[in-house]
Amino acid sequence: MLIGGLQKFSLINYPKKAAAVIFTQGCSFLCHYCHNPELVIKDEFNTPLNEEDIFSFLEKRQNQLDAVVISGGEPTLQNNLIDFIKKIKKLNFLVKLDTNGINPNVIKNLLDLKLLDYIAMDLKAPLEKYPKVTNKDFSSEGIEESIKIIISSNIDYEFRSTLVKNLHEKEDIEKMALSIKNAKLYILQKFVSKVTLNPTYSKKKAFSDEDMLDMKKSALTHVKKCFIR
């Protein structure tokens, strides 16, 4: 595992649980608005953290933490993700995976092995607009497959979209919600201007509160619950 960071305590990354968050290095996308370029661009990677140190930290926190969140970058690109999660489960932690959905087979394997308790999948754009938003040319078939696998799983999950004005249009949201039709939970996140992978995006504007509410309303025509975060 290439691990670029460890957040030792978080109350906002796993719903209603105290969690540690592990950030893996490497991603399949180059989203313009990405807030973690140091986990995406190889030249910006820090020296990876030592896995043994992570496990000795987790062993000591078994009584204080409920869960471990594996985030990125894109965790499903890591070669030994399955064994890594097996070791975390042996310590009796709940495990949440944050993914961009690029590797449906890895998600399916993890679910079949009952190694996940929660999945959060980023929905970047309407499917035909993925290359524009992710800054990568690729077919969206894998994304569609991951959506199906997650919706038909029997664990808790959420889809979430970070919305950037002028990269996304208000009309995109209904199409995005339609692509995850009947999903249990869809979260709309307002873009926050700070460090971004494409520096010109750090000055981009967020949608207004009113626009966010309109988009929530249109998302709710297709999904069961929708929140603004």
Q: Which positions touch ligand SF4 (CB under 6 A)?
A: 27, 29-31, 34, 36, 40, 72-74, 100, 122
**By 3-state DSSP, what share of the chain in percent is helix, strand and coil, each rounded to 5?**
35, 20, 45
Q: By C-beta, is 65 or 191 nearer to ligand SF4? A: 191
What is the smallest separation between the CB atom of 216 and ligand SF4, expressed in angstroms? Answer: 21
Report d(CA 17, CA 168) in Å as an integer: 32
- Look at residue 159 and give its three-state secondary structure: strand
What is the smallest separation between the CB atom of 26 and ligand SF4, expressed in angstroms? Answer: 9
What is the smallest separation between the CB atom of 108 and ligand SF4, expressed in angstroms? Answer: 19
Beta strands 19-24 and 3-10, pairing class = antiparallel
Q: By C-beta, is 72 or 126 nearer to ligand SF4? A: 72
**Comparing C-alpha atoms, which of 120, 81, 117, 83 is closest to residue 101?**
120
Q: Where are the beta strands (DSSP E) in 131-229?
A: 156-163, 186-190, 226-228
Q: By C-beta, is 31 or 116 nearer to ligand SF4? A: 31
Q: By C-beta, is 94 or 120 nearer to ligand SF4? A: 120
Q: By C-beta, is 39 or 215 nearer to ligand SF4? A: 39
